[in-house]
Amino acid sequence: MKIKTLFVLFLLFEIFAFSMVSAATSNLQTALQQLCKFLYQVIGNLAIVMVALSSISYAAGQMLGAEMRARAILWSHSLLAGAVIGLLLVLIIPQVLAAMLGMTYDPNNCTFH
């Protein structure tokens, strides 16, 4: 009984979501600009913090025993990989969104035309 109820609620949510999308197409450009600004403000800064934490983790691990050194190196590699992936997302996501929507992207103003 609960599965049927959840399924019906899911279908109603999907119908509501699709109706909201069709009603909000005029706000699509504004939403994309806000997404882009969020990416540039938050993820870029977070990547810089992650690189700093990665270097601190690596340096601190060099003063510890062999097992903790290995863990610290693993943590620092994970932080560094996360920072690189975050920076790549900041650079690639706006371009992909613009290509999918058939618009052009202006990186200086973070706008889609």
Q: Has this prediction a pTM greater than 0.85?
A: no
Residue 6 counted as domain residue:
no
CB 57 within 8 A of CB 82: no
Number of compact structural domains in the chain: 1
Does the pLDDT of residue 21 top 60, yes or no?
Answer: no
Output Rg (C-alpha) for the chain, integer angstroms. 21
| Domain hosting residue 77, numbered range | 26-112
- pLDDT band at 99; cut points 50, 70, 90: confident
Cα separation of 94 and 105, whole Å?
7
User: Which stretches within the chain are classed as H helix?
Assistant: 2-23, 28-38, 44-61, 66-101
Residue 7 counted as domain residue:
no
- pLDDT band at 92; cut points 50, 70, 90: confident
Residue 63 counted as domain residue:
yes
